[in-house]
Amino acid sequence: WITVGTGDGMYNRVDPTDARWLYNTSQFGDHRRVDQAQRTMTDIMPRRPAGQPALRWNWNTPLVLSPHNPQILYTGAQVLFRSLNRGDAWQEISPDLTVNDEAKTFGRGNIQFGTMTTISESPVTPGVIWVGTDDGRVQVTKTHGAAWTDVTPAIERAGGPRDRWVSRVVASSHRAGTAYVAKSGYRHDDFAPYLCKTADFGATWTAISKGLPDQPINVVWQDRKNAALLFVGNDKGVWVSVDDGERWVRMK
């Protein structure tokens, strides 16, 4: 075993085409690129020039590699960042995608609010990117970030409360317009399992949580080979569906 990161340690991403490169993040967007051949670690955290508005980072900042080119990285504060060169330089490719409630954004102490919690690029179509935030927003771009659509109201109509923390958004590996969103009411003493699916880039959503226990959902995942095979993880265990969310059973 070797150390590949510092701090609390959150995400670790390994380049699937060249395992020399590993990306590690600790709290508040502290991203590092690890060269496993040279045993070196490079700071690749995005920053803004002095005088610009401060960036807000979630404690567990998402960091993802593009499924189309692992040299492309995505991470998010209140805006989405993209790097085309393994983190050496970053571009902001979105406006503020959060609610941006100034009364809550920094609050008391060290914890920030109004931050991105989850990012997913479609493995089917490059540039289709989904983003979720801690203040309930879900937004999607089909143009590599040139234009964004807020699909939060459509999720609310399907039963996903507007202000609940987006614990995961997952772009389907099988259809470009399909995605899954899990929301967690844990911080509101709301333990309902909020899970929705879209097949039309977020225009309409269907609740697919029937049969899941009253536990906030932490993660959802779709199998890469079988589009009907879904997994959900919460604090009590793992649930599985073999019919795209119609029914769920506990995976024992």
Q: What is the pLDDT of residues 194-222, one digit of tens each?
A: 999 999 999 999 999 999 999 999 999 99
What is residue 122's predicted lDDT score, i.e. its pLDDT? 98
Amino acid letter for position 47: R
Do 203 and 182 touch, CB atoms closer than 8 A?
no
Helix (H) or strand (E) holding 150: strand 149-150
Examine the pLDDT at 108 and tell me if it is beyond 90. no
Q: Per-residue confidence at 103, pLDDT binned at 50, 70, 90?
A: confident
* N- to C-terminal Cα separation, the chain: 30
Cβ atoms within 10 Å of 191's Cβ, excluding its own? 14
H/E run at residue 231: strand 230-234
Residue range 28-61, pLDDT digits in tens: 999 999 999 999 999 999 999 999 999 999 999 9
pLDDT score at 9: 75
Residue from 139, 126, 36 nearest 84 by CA: 126
Confidence of residue 107 (pLDDT cuts 50, 70, 90): low
Residue 239: pLDDT band (50, 70, 90) is: very high
Instruction: Please state the rounded mean pLDDT for residues 8-16.
Output: 91
Mean pLDDT in the chain?
Answer: 96
**What is the model's pTM?**
0.96
Residue 7's pLDDT band (boundaries 50, 70, 90)?
confident
The secondary structure element, H or E, covering residue 25 is strand 21-26
